[in-house]
């Protein structure tokens, strides 16, 4: 079995230097790090992960807490978990999924990833002692990763205008949270740039509610209207209502969703949507938290990933 001494001898450095390269690479020069890594590669040396964690007083465990209800029929969180796991695997970290916040601090973990936090959760978050990173925008100074929600609805609104829909209506989610404010802001700002007035209707994120609303107010929506929705779930309800009322999609009515992880593909016709890069978001979450752990909890800031507008059958070619 190859030992630390073997690596040190091949690299012509001390065992202490090899240990620093493994446990605290930021403390050695790039040149020295490359020499030691080359020696480790040549000898096929595998550091003892458990011993390394013990030496650093770490568990090599990250907990992922979901603070919202999950629809298990949709792969959104599966894609996010896959991305997180892929990011953690590279550092040989394990992941534990938590759905009850009261159990988050039970047992060991080096840090926390948390999604679904709402305004009422932040006093509790303030009490946590471990490094944490949020999935989702916040206005409280916590490090976070999210999709650029404002950019997403800007893209959707610009596309609808380019396809010559004359009336653009936003169907929003009735929550007072940053992600929704950002999605509405992208829509509003783009319309203002084109001297058009916004029309916004909000409801809970349920397809039957958006379907019911469009049906009950059908006479208010003239042909040549595009509905820009804050979620694919709301968009599907809008599509169903339009078709049931005899409206023509996409000739007379357009519909654009937001999320692009499952429902956009099962819709008939398939939805044009603002697609989030969910697995990549998960990887960035893992990287940011690992960086924060390595830097003893230092602030990491925020990262917004650009979404993609995927055009399909609910908008004009």
What is the reported pTM?
A: 0.80
Domain 61-146+278-305 CATH (choose: 3.40.50.300, 3.40.50.2300, 3.90.950.10, 3.10.560.10): 3.40.50.2300
Task: Break the chain into its structural domains and give their ranges.
Answer: 4-47, 61-146+278-305, 149-277
Q: What is the largest CA-CA distance in the chain?
A: 82
- Tens-place pLDDT, residues 163-193: 999 999 999 999 999 999 999 999 999 999 9
The answer to whether 275 touches 306, Cβ cutoff 8 Å, is: no
The answer on pLDDT for 54 being more than 50 is no
The answer on pLDDT for 290 being more than 70 is yes
- Tens-place pLDDT, residues 106-165: 988 899 999 989 888 999 999 999 999 999 999 899 999 999 999 999 999 999 999 999
Report, as an integer, the average pLDDT of 62-81: 82
- For residue 143, give the DSSP letter: -
Element (H, E) at 255: strand 253-259
- Tens-place pLDDT, residues 22-49: 776 767 888 888 898 898 889 888 776 5
Residue 205 tokens, joined = 């994120």
Domain 4-47 CATH (choose: 1.20.120, 3.40.50, 1.10.260, 1.20.1070): 1.10.260
The answer to whether 22 touches 15, Cβ cutoff 8 Å, is: no
Superfamily of domain 149-277: Response regulator (3.40.50.2300)
Rounded distance between C-alpha atoms, residue 161 and residue 102, angstroms: 47
Q: Are 61-146+278-305 and 149-277 in the same CATH fold?
A: yes
pLDDT at residue 75 in the model: 82
Residue 130 tokens, joined = 């471990």
Strands (E), 139-204: 144-147, 167-173, 199-203
């Amino acid at each position: 079995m190859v030992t630390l001494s073997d690596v040190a001898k091949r690299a012509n450095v001390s065992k202490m230097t090899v240990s620093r390269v493994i446990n605290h690479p930021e403390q050695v020069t790039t040149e020295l790090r490359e020499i030691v890594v080359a020696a480790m590669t040549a000898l096929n040396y595998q550091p003892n992960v458990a011993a390394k964690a013990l030496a650093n007083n770490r568990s090599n465990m990250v907990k992922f807490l979901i603070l919202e209800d999950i629809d298990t029929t949709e792969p959104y969180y599966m894609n996010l978990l896959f991305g997180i796991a892929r990011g953690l695997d590279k550092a040989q970290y394990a992941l534990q999924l938590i759905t009850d916040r009261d159990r988050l601090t039970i047992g060991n973990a080096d840090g926390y990833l948390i999604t679904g936090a709402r305004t009422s959760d932040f006093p509790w978050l303030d009490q946590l002692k471990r490094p944490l990173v949020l999935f989702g925008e916040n206005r409280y100074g916590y490090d976070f990763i999210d999709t650029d929600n404002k950019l997403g609805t800007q893209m959707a609104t610009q596309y609808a205008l380019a396809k010559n829909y004359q009336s653009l209506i936003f169907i929003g989610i009735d929550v007072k949270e940053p992600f929704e404010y950002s999605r509405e802001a992208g829509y509003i700002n783009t319309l203002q740039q084109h001297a058009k007035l916004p029309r916004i209707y909000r409801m809970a994120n349920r397809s039957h509610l958006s379907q019911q609303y469009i049906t009950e107010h059908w006479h208010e929506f003239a042909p040549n209207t595009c509905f820009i929705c804050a979620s694919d779930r709301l968009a599907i309800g809008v599509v169903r209502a339009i078709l049931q009322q005899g409206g023509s999609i996409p000739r007379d009515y357009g519909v654009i969703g937001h999320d692009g992880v499952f429902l956009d593909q099962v819709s008939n016709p398939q939805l044009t949507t603002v697609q989030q890069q969910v697995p990549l978001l998960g990887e960035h979450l893992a990287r940011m938290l690992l960086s924060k752990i390595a830097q003893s909890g230092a602030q990491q800031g925020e990262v917004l990933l650009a979404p993609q507008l995927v055009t399909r059958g609910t908008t004009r070619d």
